[in-house]
Chains A and B, each alone.
Chain A
Amino acid sequence: MISIETIQDKLSKAFPDANINIIINRGMYQCEIPANRNLEIISFLKNDLGFQFLTDITASHYPDEKGRELCIISHMHNLTENTRLRLRAYVPIEQPDTSSLVSIFSGADWMERETYDFFGINFIGHPNLVRILNVDEMDYFPMRKEYQMEDPTRLDKDDIMFGRE
């Protein structure tokens, strides 16, 4: 297991203005990174710190935090030293842009498509950013908090039956 001080030192030296602070959250290292520099930071983690496995990319929506509504959450894993790291990058909902990781991890292809499909995050540099799980004609991003779980065009059930009143 790499110690938290080693990672913190190396990251702070390589990216002094990114203001990265690593904490331990229930046994896993976690930090927040700026969304516009995610490709550089993750390349650095992959090449210099040995995090050669990208576990997952997903997102979450916090409608109450203005300017930081969407959060892109990446999990990385260093298999030789058995260290996991969670990276959170916040983007505003008007312009949810961040770089795509496809150039360094081929596996990020569908992970990013799924995140785009559900939350509308725009991964710059992705070769084929289209919907993957939902129908192609869908024009909204269903996992955002303002949309309901059920199909909005249902005629047979109304809000009372769905438990919302």
Chain B
Amino acid sequence: MVENESRHIKLAEDSIEKETTTINLGPTHPATHGIFQNIMEIDGERVMRTEMTVGYIHRAFEKIAERRPYYQITTLTDRMNYCSAPINNIGWQMTVEKLIGMEIPARVAYLRVIIMELARISDHLVCNSVIGVDAGALTPFTYVFQWREKIYDIYESICGARLTTNIGRIGGFERNFTDASWKFLDDFMKTFPPMMKEFETLLTRNRIFMDRCIGAGPISAERALNWGFTGPNLRAAGVDYDVRVMDPYSRYEEFDFKIPVGTTGDAYDRYLVRNIEMMESYSIIQQALDKLKGMDDSVFHADVPHFYLPEKADVYTKMEALIYHFKIVMGEVNLPVGEVYHAVEGGNGELGFYLESDGGRTPYRLHFRRPCFIYYQAFNELVAGGLLSDAIVTLSSLNVIAGELDA
């Protein structure tokens, strides 16, 4: 309860209610969205104003990053947007490669594209099914988690972990994709479109779902740009800004894909934009698989012995490999001094890494431009004047992930 009387909104003199009710939505939500608090002032069923409190899962990533060598920060970046951890990992590795000025072979770029698009599919699957759960439809959630398990199988065969993947290294991947990975990937590619079709028949033209979502939390394109929205939330408002197209990285300019754009920016538009993006990601993975045919199978990292750990067998037998291994792990490698900003298109928008290096083993300053943190501030504007149940659907359609919110 908010004790401070002056923060209550005074209604008009002739209204029936003489004061508003303050309710507390959070910080412990039912297991899905994460830990942040909304104190809402409601007049009956209508939300007058909401105030957000974040920081309940502040883990001080930026401070920890100043004490960790560059190759250990990948594990930190995992835990930001944990639904699509590989995008964070590969984004960080690309930032360091940009600082150093490293060239990446084409095969590595295409493999990275496959992994990032799989991560984007798994992030959007969670978000869309959770909009269903919040509107009362529990079945699509259980369908969708089965396909997330298939994506986890692919990650596990490459890096060993399901969720917090720590995938890739500065310069490429830690091991080549195995036969098992290709088998899991083929299985996923065959079974994903029929599942998406089934998922869409359950929700997209469902009368109840449409009535819940259409008109919930709309935002215009100018306001969205002013707030700093990026990602599917901005594209649902009508602006076709996608970092993969604007500032291509990892050879995205060679792929042919569309950017879905909405009109009103409400929850239904966000849901549709994410659905179409999933199918576009599927087509990107298919194009990448076509491009990989006929390429030399053994290339999985750049030829940079100063930054990429050599094979263990070489470390035990060859002198140069031993020295490189020692220098990389101990941080004796000469890194350039300077600052760099690199942005990737995360599941929620422009995920930026601002890195300042002083040539030492650990970064001097690392800042994450987290899309969730920046668009969640607009929540008050999105829900004020709407109904309480619209506020719930808006919150889940924004895809706020607490790890990325607080970092």
Q: Is B66 an interface residue (CB 8 A)?
A: yes
Q: Which of A63-110 contact B (CB under 8 A)?
A: 73, 75, 79, 82, 84, 86, 105-110
Contacting chain B: which of A3-11, A34-42, A47-55, A152-160?
Answer: A47-55
Number of A-B residue pairs having CB atoms within 8 Å of each other in the complex: 88
Q: Which residues of A contact B229 (CB under 8 A)?
A: 107
The answer to whether B374 touches A132 (Cβ under 8 A) is no
Q: Which residues of A contact B63 (CB under 8 A)?
A: 142-143, 149
The answer to whether A110 touches B354 (Cβ under 8 A) is no
Contacting chain A: which of B13-21, B305-313, B337-345?
Answer: B337-345
Q: How far is the CB of A122 from chain B (nearest CB, A)?
A: 19
Point out the residue from A26, A58, A108 that lies within 8 Å of B367, measured CB to CB. A58
Q: Is B183 an interface residue (CB 8 A)?
A: no
The answer to whether B226 touches A105 (Cβ under 8 A) is yes
The answer to whether A149 touches B67 (Cβ under 8 A) is yes
Q: How far is the CB of A110 from chain B (nearest CB, A)?
A: 5
Q: How far is the CB of A154 from chain B (nearest CB, A)?
A: 14
Q: Which residues of A contact B246 (CB under 8 A)?
A: 79, 82
The answer to whether B62 touches A107 (Cβ under 8 A) is no
Q: Complex Cα distance A105/B377, Å?
A: 12
Interface of A is mostly: mixed
Q: Mark B139-180, 1 if CB is under 8 A from A, else 0.
A: 000000000000000000000000000000000000000000
Q: How many positions in chain A have a CB within 8 Å of any CB in the partner chain?
A: 34
The answer to whether B227 touches A55 (Cβ under 8 A) is no
Q: Which residues of B contact A133 (CB under 8 A)?
A: 54-55, 58, 406
Nearest B-chain residue to A111, judged by Cβ: B374
The answer to whether B55 touches A134 (Cβ under 8 A) is yes
Name the interface size band of chain B.
Answer: 35 or more
Q: How far is the CB of B365 from chain A (nearest CB, A)?
A: 5
The answer to whether B352 touches A107 (Cβ under 8 A) is no
The answer to whether A107 touches B377 (Cβ under 8 A) is yes
Q: Is B225 an interface residue (CB 8 A)?
A: yes
Interface of B is mostly: mixed
Q: Mark B25-60, 1 if CB is under 8 A from A, else 0.
A: 000000000000000000000000000001100101
Q: Mark B57-90, 1 if CB is under 8 A from A, else 0.
A: 0101011101100000000000000000000000
Q: Is B251 an interface residue (CB 8 A)?
A: no
Q: Which residues of A contact B377 (CB under 8 A)?
A: 106-107, 109-110
The answer to whether B226 touches A56 (Cβ under 8 A) is no
Q: Complex Cα distance A131/B364, Å?
A: 23
Q: Which residues of A contact B343 (CB under 8 A)?
A: 55
Q: How far is the CB of A30 from chain B (nearest CB, A)?
A: 8
Point out the residue from A56, A106, A131, A134 that lies within 8 Å of B227, measured CB to CB. A106
Q: Complex Cα distance A111/B375, Å?
A: 11
Q: Mark B341-368, 1 if CB is under 8 A from A, else 0.
A: 1010000001010101000000011010
Q: Complex Cα distance A84/B58, Å?
A: 29
Nearest A-chain residue to B227, judged by Cβ: A107
Q: Is B228 an interface residue (CB 8 A)?
A: yes
The answer to whether A107 touches B374 (Cβ under 8 A) is yes
The answer to whether B225 touches A26 (Cβ under 8 A) is no
Q: Complex Cα distance A55/B231, Å?
A: 13
The answer to whether A106 touches B352 (Cβ under 8 A) is no
The answer to whether B378 touches A106 (Cβ under 8 A) is yes
The answer to whether B54 touches A118 (Cβ under 8 A) is no
Q: Complex Cα distance A110/B343, Å?
A: 20
The answer to whether A60 touches B356 (Cβ under 8 A) is yes
Q: Is B114 an interface residue (CB 8 A)?
A: no
Q: Is A124 an interface residue (CB 8 A)?
A: no
Evaluate whether A53 and B55 lie within 8 angstroms (CB atoms) in the complex, with A75-B354, A110-B373, A149-B63 already known. no
Q: Which residues of B contact A114 (CB under 8 A)?
A: 373
Q: Which residues of B contact A132 (CB under 8 A)?
A: 54-55
Nearest B-chain residue to A145, judged by Cβ: B66
Nearest A-chain residue to B369, judged by Cβ: A56
The answer to whether B356 touches A55 (Cβ under 8 A) is no
The answer to whether B228 touches A55 (Cβ under 8 A) is yes
The answer to whether A75 touches B228 (Cβ under 8 A) is no
Evaluate whether A25 and B227 lie within 8 angstroms (CB atoms) in the complex, with A110-B377, A132-B55, A143-B63 already known. no
Q: Is B241 an interface residue (CB 8 A)?
A: yes
Q: Is A28 an interface residue (CB 8 A)?
A: yes
Q: Is B187 an interface residue (CB 8 A)?
A: no
Point out the residue from A55, A108, A149 that lies within 8 Å of B66, measured CB to CB. A149
The answer to whether A73 touches B354 (Cβ under 8 A) is yes
Q: Mark B299-342, 1 if CB is under 8 A from A, else 0.
A: 00000000000000000000000000000000000000011110
Q: How far is the CB of B367 from chain A (nearest CB, A)?
A: 4
Q: How far is the CB of B224 from chain A (nearest CB, A)?
A: 10
Q: Is B200 an interface residue (CB 8 A)?
A: no
Q: How far is the CB of B37 from chain A (nearest CB, A)?
A: 12
12 A/B residue pairs, CB under 8 Å, sorted by A = A26-B98, A26-B99, A26-B340, A53-B228, A55-B352, A56-B352, A60-B364, A75-B354, A107-B228, A107-B374, A111-B374, A134-B58
Apart from A26-B98, A131-B55, 7 more pairs, CB < 8 Å: A26-B338, A58-B367, A75-B354, A105-B228, A106-B223, A107-B229, A133-B406
Top 9 closest A-B pairs, CB basis? A107-B228, A133-B55, A56-B369, A133-B58, A58-B367, A107-B227, A110-B377, A60-B365, A149-B63
